[in-house]
Structure 1
C-alpha cells in the first residue's frame, strides 16, 4: 500500500486522499478562519474511487493526512466477460480482470486501448484512449 503524508492545507479539489481506509477523490474543501483560541479547520468532502461512497474529514489545516499514490497505466481489452473485462497491461503484459464501469459498457470492444488506475492494491478502468 503506497501512500505519502501531507498537511490538510495542501489538499486541492480533484486530488486524492485516504479516508476510512479507502482512496477517495476530493470534491470539495471549506476552511474556517481561526478563532480567538483555536486553529483554522478544514472540512474535506470526498467520494471513494472504488466504492463511490461519500466521506467527510474535519481537521485543523496543519494536521497530517495520508494521500494514496495513484498509478495511471494503459491496457488493451482482451475479452469482455459479462460484468468484467479482461485487460492486458501494455508495459508489463500482465493480464487481469476488472469490473466494467456503467458509463463505458456500450463503448468497450476487444482490441480497444483503455486507461486504468492502480491505488492501494485495487485496479479500476477509467476511460477509453483509442478505439
Structure 2
C-alpha cells in the first residue's frame, strides 16, 4: 500500500478546490494589439524635421545642435521641437549616447463628405467613414468650411499620433 506524504495531501486538497470560471466576453471589450506608440532611438541619430517625444508630447524637431564633450562628460545634444498638435515650443538637452522616444506619426488622405458645427465627416479610400474628427481652428478650419459650402470636392490630410488625430492639410479632390 502506498504511503501518503504531506505533499500528496496538499495536491489532493488543491484538486478538490473549486475552479473559477472566467467570462471571456468581459476581457475582450477594450483590448488592443499591445503595439507601442513610440520606439527608442539614440539621441545622436535624430535629425532636423524628424519627430521626437519631448515632455510627453509628440514634437517635430525644428533645431538641433551638438556640443563638444567636456573633460569628464558626454557630448550633449540641444533639441528644439514644436508640438505637432498644439504648436507649443519645447527644448531639451540630452547626452548624445542616451536614447529618446520617437512617436509613430501616420498621415492619411480622406475625402470630406460633411461639415457640421465643430466636426468633419470623412471618408477613406476603403469606404469607411469617420465622424469623430474636430474641425481645426484658424484659417485651415474656415477654408474647409467655406470650400465645402461652395460644393467643392475636398481632400484633407489627417495626422495621427499617440491616439490623437488632427487635420493638417487641405487640397482639392483629384478627378
**What's the TM-score, normalizing by structure 1?**
0.89
| 2:76 equivalent among 41, 52, 69 | 41
In 2, Cα distance between equivalents of 1:48 and 1:92: 31
Gaps of 5+ in 2: 1-35
For the pair shown, the structure with the greater C-alpha radius of gyration is: 2
Retained in 1: the 8 A contact 2:54–2:90?
Answer: yes
Identify the structure with the greater strand proportion.
1
Q: CA deviation at 1:123?
A: 0.6
Which protein, 1 or 2, shows the higher relative CO under an 8 Å CA cutoff with sep ≥ 6?
1
Q: CA deviation at 1:102?
A: 1.9
Which runs of 4 or more aligned residues in structure 1 lie more than 6 Å from their structure 2 counterparts after TM superposition? none
| 2:138 equivalent among 80, 88, 102 | 102
In 2, Cα distance between equivalents of 1:68 and 1:98: 22
Gaps of 5+ in 1: none
Identify the structure with the greater helix proportion.
2
Q: CA deviation at 1:41?
A: 0.2
| 2:85 equivalent among 50, 58, 75 | 50
RMSD of aligned C-alpha atoms?
Answer: 1.7
Which deviations, in whole Å up to 9, do the C-alpha atoms of 1:38-92 show, x marking residues without a partner? 1100010101111221111111001100001111101011222234322223336
- 2:44 maps to 9
